[in-house]
Amino acid sequence: MIAKIHSAALQGLNALPVTIEVNVTDNPQPHFDIVGLPDAAVKESQHRVNSALSSNNYNLVMKQIIVNLAPADIKKEGSGFDMPIAIGILQSVGVIQSSDFSQYMFVGELSLDGTIQPIRGALPIAIKAREMGFEALFVPEENVREAAVVNKLKVYGVKHLLDVIGFIEGTTHLEPTDINTREEFYAQQSSFSFDFDEVKGQEQVKRAFEVAAAGGHNIILIGSPGCGKSMMAKRLPSILPPLSLSESLETTQIHSVAGKIQKETSLISQRPFRSPHHTISDVALVGGGTNFLPGEICLAHNGVLFLDELPEFNKSVLETLRQPLEDRIITISRAKYNVTMPCSFMLVASMNPCPCGYHHHPTHACVCTPAQIQRYMNKISGPLMDRIDIQVEVESVPFEDIAKAPKGESSSAIRERVIKARKIQEERFANVKGIHCNAQMNTSLLHKYAKLDDASIERLRDAMKRLDLSARAYDRILKVARTIADLDGSEDIQSRHIGEAIGYRNLDRESWMEC
């Protein structure tokens, strides 16, 4: 008898339904074939399935087993087909008498003893199962919470192959996992490991982070070693606006496909913070590989991508960021697949001001020549720097100031102001598709919403000449000034807003590299 079992395969951020057809016949020369464009992990399924079945006293001696993964013209990857293949074999040989599996979908990897191991992509598979009208989905127990986020679908978490067989035959009782998604989501939104009230001094830098968070602006911190750049960057998620449910679902899908969801997690409720090492490759950063996996920029979607020691990254790796920063999506084309992934993130970068790290330091002498400083700065291309709105120089805080400084303002207080500013922007861009914050404004929107009065124009003109600001700084200053005005609750950009925005363009000053 030919058995048909429903399962699913991952294709980028989505799942593809797969029908597993199994035919078992008697043969004096037993063999096990899997067809339908399986990859190496799927082909190895025969050994895991054989061992799991024999370990539980289901012997298949003198049998010819043919497994077809339909549709047969699409590449199948991963180990999630083990459980449905085993179920199909047992149905085909008559061990499982039930003949109607049309309302069930199965995914899961088998250990040699029949224990069911976790898989990648349980959430998009659950979404596809509900979309196709399945009644129930069987997943490994470790994946059940992320899959159970999907409503109107019974999701069963199973530990062992015998649990599934017993449920089908009616000898084992399984309860579908039920999660109050909204309650869990909102309960975890305000719990952070780091808080800005732990930062002593650095009021100007904290203000720059507030402006960056309010407008979604990319930011770079320049300062000597030990001045607190990384410490403050790690606290940025605590002042960003909370994720919406739709943003959380999209973010969770990406992490599910990457296999990054923890057993206790259902929905990701806090904005991601990704901090890859500077030795990262371009594939690891943007995604791809022989079998597709999301890169760091996709894992940072709706959150923060922190690049510490920016000039130490390979220049070719940094250049791959230019298009994602502009379009907020990444399309990865390979011979075997073509995948488009969302990657809307805030870029936060940090760097030393020179190779030795002490250029402009008040007490420590710099030993670098102007040529060395120039070569160091040239590791970051103009087009990439052009996509960073805020450039802040971080100064070291003297010990006396650290010891005497009172506790700083809490992240929750800063976050309230950021949320108010973001609401203003949401209303402003309500009818503009794809624009949600000031950092995303194009030239026409900039001319419409960042108009300057005569005093502001004069102040900006004077600063451009006096500080030798480059031409590319003009639009960035206007965007940041618009955000500062929103934080101030001002409908119009005023001269003081322009003045503060000008202060956030340190690297654009032609005199910055002078000793």
* 7-18 residue pLDDT tens: 999 988 889 999
Phi-psi region of 108 (alpha: psi -120 to 50; beta: other; left: phi over 0): left
Tokens found for residue 176: 């579908």
> Could you tell me if 285 and 295 are in contact, meaning their C-beta atoms sit under 8 angstroms apart?
yes
Higher pLDDT, 362 or 470: 362
Chain-centroid distance of CA 35 in Å reads: 34
* Position 387 confidence tier, pLDDT thresholds 50, 70, 90: confident
Q: What is the DSSP string of 296-363?
A: HHHHTTTSEEEESSGGGS-HHHHHTTHHHHHHSEEEEE-SS-EEEEE---EEEEEE-SSSSS-TT-SS
Q: Which of 342, 304, 328, 325 is nearest to 209 (CA)?
A: 304
User: pLDDT (tens digit, 9 = 90+) per residue, 77-103?
Assistant: 888 999 999 999 999 988 887 767 889
pLDDT the model gives residue 176: 92
pLDDT the model gives residue 513: 55
User: pLDDT (tens digit, 9 = 90+) per residue, 195-210?
Assistant: 888 887 788 899 999 9
Q: Cα dihedral sign for 335, 340, 342, 343?
A: positive
Segment 355-359 long-range contacts (CB within 8 Å, at least 24 positions apart) = 357/224, 357/225, 358/224, 359/513, 359/515
CB hemisphere CA count around 194 (13 angstroms): 15
For 306-318, what is the mean pLDDT?
94
3-state secondary structure of 349: strand
> Could you tell me if 418 and 213 are in contact, meaning their C-beta atoms sit under 8 angstroms apart?
yes
Tokens found for residue 1: 């008898």
pLDDT at 362 over 70: yes
Strand partners of residue 110: 116
pLDDT at 512 over 80: no
pLDDT the model gives residue 324: 93
Which amino acid, 268? I
Q: What is the DSSP string of 420-456?
A: HHHHHHHHHTTTSTT--SGGG--HHHHHHH--B-HHH
Other C-beta atoms within 10 Å of 320: how many? Answer: 18
* Position 266 confidence tier, pLDDT thresholds 50, 70, 90: confident
pLDDT at 507 over 90: no
> Could you tell me if 114 and 163 are in contact, meaning their C-beta atoms sit under 8 angstroms apart?
no
Report in angstroms the alpha-carbon separations of 505 from 306, 331, 460, 481, 494: 19, 32, 12, 12, 18
Tokens found for residue 243: 């994720």
pLDDT at 106 over 90: yes
Higher pLDDT, 20 or 288: 20
For 349-362, what is the mean pLDDT?
88
pLDDT the model gives residue 404: 67
Which amino acid, 215? G
* Position 118 confidence tier, pLDDT thresholds 50, 70, 90: very high
Higher pLDDT, 262 or 115: 115
User: pLDDT (tens digit, 9 = 90+) per residue, 212-241?
Assistant: 999 999 999 999 888 888 999 999 999 999
For 455-484, what is the mean pLDDT?
86
Residues in the chain: 515
User: pLDDT (tens digit, 9 = 90+) per residue, 419-428?
Assistant: 999 999 999 9
For 52-63, what is the mean pLDDT?
86
Tell me the CA end-to-end span of the chain in Å, nearest whole number.
83
